[in-house]
Structure 1
């Protein structure tokens, strides 16, 4: 510790430490089912002002600000790449209102809160207030994954966060230009002209970059292995060029560029987007820990009751009122308005841009400018912790979660799929049966199962289905190649451990064997489509058993020696699909779904909910 304080931490070790803590926090949050931002915040404060192990400003020196600027630009670009206009659908009106009406109202409300609650001067409040309309895509994205919201409220929060990020930064730029005019006696006309030209050039550069990249990729002017490097270089070039013309306008340029690429229908778009998502996870982790570690103890101790009052006013007044006013008299239901109004976590962009403008205002001799950074950090910390723990309960209270317990998506409408879907439905799990052939879905519709007619990999499926309601996929059509394609394509989205498929007919043949990277996990008895359906024709059925102290797993196995375990549902609602070698959980209260031969029902065979067979499907 003494070495870190005197000589400073070696930059290589510092980078490794930030990376390990960032990714480690994300992994631990996944294991504990907690908001990752909360753990990253704690980790950053611990190694920074807490233990004094890392001081980013000193240890990384002049590299600190360029690193943060580039990281934020890449994060916003990736956010823009997620915004396909077709995904807006019925949320388009709400998003326009939140940006065009809610943005200016939020700027005014935040400025007032900063002046009257935090006691800042009007000029500092106007600059910081513009930044505060940013709700932070880096925080919203993990919260949405955790809360499993319905499509429209999730789209509203996601689009508002992405679009308002550059808008908020530009609002701060506008206010900052006004402050420069007041302090340097420049003409207002010159400032306005510079602002308009900067915004126009930023949009033009973003469109040009996106159009040029899409044209080059579509016309095969860039080889496949160089597409990601070319994308990165062009991204950095557009950001740097736009930022050199008008400070922080580069954020708008890269967001526009990402939007253009997202809607260009590129054949290689999915590969680019997934790579960007992975890079963004690393960048978000690193940036948040760097910003937290960069806070000094003196800065944290300078936060007093006025800071607490300011945070409370923002959360309870300055955020809800502009949102409710913007969405008023729209087709957005009142429950969704309330959820959006009281969900406004701030993130990396707010802290990074606020710190940057705080330094620039302080260099101009503006009073109170040094208070921007600690107030921004306090707001981020409070909103991240608050919304991280309250968004899911609030969504459940308002009935805006897609599902309480994620269910199963079965691709293929065979007799076997319908019987399995009915079994899952008896377990009170959401079930969807999808098939490109409408005739194959007839039995599923007659059985009362939810169905989707079309290709599950199509854009129509992406825009019409709430995939968040399902976290397990079983590819079970009569086409082995299609099953493999579905499992391979959806594995990155759902997790490879959650994607299953029926056994390929020629899997044992060396001539037809596929690499391990293709396809899904083995399911149940690891049978082919024809073997699985033949088993039902031979008199087998899906049944459910509840394990208890009186009826253990061993007793079940003794009673059903031929049975094949298919899935188990734990007492806490955790569903597991089982493979041929997966062991069943023996926890009391676990409900076991299995496939077994039909038997003639006798009175003594029937058991109640705490006993054995309570349901048959097939």
Structure 2
């Protein structure tokens, strides 16, 4: 609960001091870079329903990223409102508006709407009369329908769609946790996720070769490393104080602060609402952090998770296909 806010504070201070950014712009960059995104590393996501892959690390990283999807947005809006107030020299009480509307309403309404939609889909899928319930169709795309309806409806009523989707998924699953239809929905959404990620990574690679990092300086590169190797591990360990996980699990949770698609979305959203002269430099730093994260975490996730599974008596190869000739 405190890892991301602490990370935002630290990244804001580092980028404001190291890059000479105004505080509002540094806050926008920090709010974009602090959230995690484990989609880029499938080995640290929770496994299929009713599997044994929901250990502390996989569950912690997946749930952290899901919550970050919604809770990062208030800080993005805070940066936007702070920048607007600073530019206009306005004395309008924007902080009260931010607390009541951007925090209380948009988070509260997002959670409430997500819960209602999840309950509705759970009832339609599992609990209506046998011949008409959606589970009878065997179509895993129902999970995608729930996602789109949850996101679309909550955005219409001006609250956080990402947070609502996360709550919808939790509530939907909770309406009938043992039903086999969850496997069908998981398989479909996993394939869609992988296809979407492949496209996004291709686009990211295209941006890199098109000059995304041209504005990056040595100072920016050092800041990117500090964000990944210093700020995230330290804030992660602080956030895990008192957690029941053992030391190796805590270190793994703190280390894998993977950055990805969410960071790109938040910065694009912020820059679409405020004018920033050094926008290319912001994009360059964000692109470098994402690139470092893909390489660093992508190369280390499999050996670290295998070692962790072995330490806790889990077979890391139990889902691997049999060897040829075995």
- In 1, the alpha carbon distance for the partners of 2:247 and 2:313 equals 23
2:282 alignment partner in structure 1: 372
The answer to which structure has the higher strand fraction is 1
1:356 alignment partner in structure 2: 269
2:291 alignment partner in structure 1: 381
Alpha-carbon spacing, 1:395–1:226, altered in 2? closer, same or farther (3 Å): closer
1:238 aligns with 2:150: yes
- In 2, the alpha carbon distance for the partners of 1:333 and 1:236 equals 38
* 2:40–2:260 CA contact under 8 A, matched in 1: yes
1:303 alignment partner in structure 2: 216
Whose radius of gyration is greater, 1 or 2?
A: 1
2:316 alignment partner in structure 1: 469
Alpha-carbon spacing, 1:465–1:316, altered in 2? closer, same or farther (3 Å): closer
* 1:130–1:171 CA contact under 8 A, matched in 2: yes
Alpha-carbon spacing, 1:129–1:256, altered in 2? closer, same or farther (3 Å): same
Alpha-carbon spacing, 1:230–1:312, altered in 2? closer, same or farther (3 Å): closer
Task: Give the C-alpha shift of residue 470 in structure 1.
Answer: 4.0
* 1:202–1:253 CA contact under 8 A, matched in 2: yes
- In 1, the alpha carbon distance for the partners of 2:221 and 2:155 equals 34
What residue ranges of structure 2 are gaps of 5+ in the alignment? 47-52
- In 2, the alpha carbon distance for the partners of 1:103 and 1:182 equals 25
1:255 alignment partner in structure 2: 166
- In 1, the alpha carbon distance for the partners of 2:148 and 2:6 equals 33
2:176 alignment partner in structure 1: 265
* 1:359–1:369 CA contact under 8 A, matched in 2: no
1:211 alignment partner in structure 2: 119
Point out which structure has higher relative CO (alpha carbons under 8 A, 6+ apart). 2
> 1:541-580: per-residue Cα shift (whole Å, max 9, x none)?
xxxxxxxxxxxxxxxxxxxxxxxxxxxxxxxxxx5563xx
- In 2, the alpha carbon distance for the partners of 1:116 and 1:369 equals 17
- In 2, the alpha carbon distance for the partners of 1:302 and 1:333 equals 42
- In 2, the alpha carbon distance for the partners of 1:356 and 1:122 equals 18
Alpha-carbon spacing, 1:143–1:238, altered in 2? closer, same or farther (3 Å): closer
What residue ranges of structure 1 are gaps of 5+ in the alignment? 1-99, 405-463, 472-493, 499-574, 579-618
Task: Give the C-alpha shift of residue 351 in structure 1.
Answer: 1.8
TM-score normalized with structure 2 length: 0.82
1:332 aligns with 2:245: yes
- In 2, the alpha carbon distance for the partners of 1:162 and 1:357 equals 20
2:33 alignment partner in structure 1: 132
- In 1, the alpha carbon distance for the partners of 2:158 and 2:205 equals 28
Alpha-carbon spacing, 1:256–1:465, altered in 2? closer, same or farther (3 Å): farther
Alpha-carbon spacing, 1:355–1:372, altered in 2? closer, same or farther (3 Å): farther
2:83 alignment partner in structure 1: 179
1:117 aligns with 2:18: yes
Alpha-carbon spacing, 1:306–1:272, altered in 2? closer, same or farther (3 Å): same
TM-score normalized with structure 1 length: 0.46
> 1:252-307: per-residue Cα shift (whole Å, max 9, x none)?
11111111112221532221121111111111111222233245734321111122
1:403 alignment partner in structure 2: 310
- In 2, the alpha carbon distance for the partners of 1:169 and 1:382 equals 24
1:284 alignment partner in structure 2: 197
- In 2, the alpha carbon distance for the partners of 1:341 and 1:102 equals 9
- In 1, the alpha carbon distance for the partners of 2:123 and 2:54 equals 35
* Partner-residue secondary structure (3-state), 1:117: helix
1:194 aligns with 2:101: yes
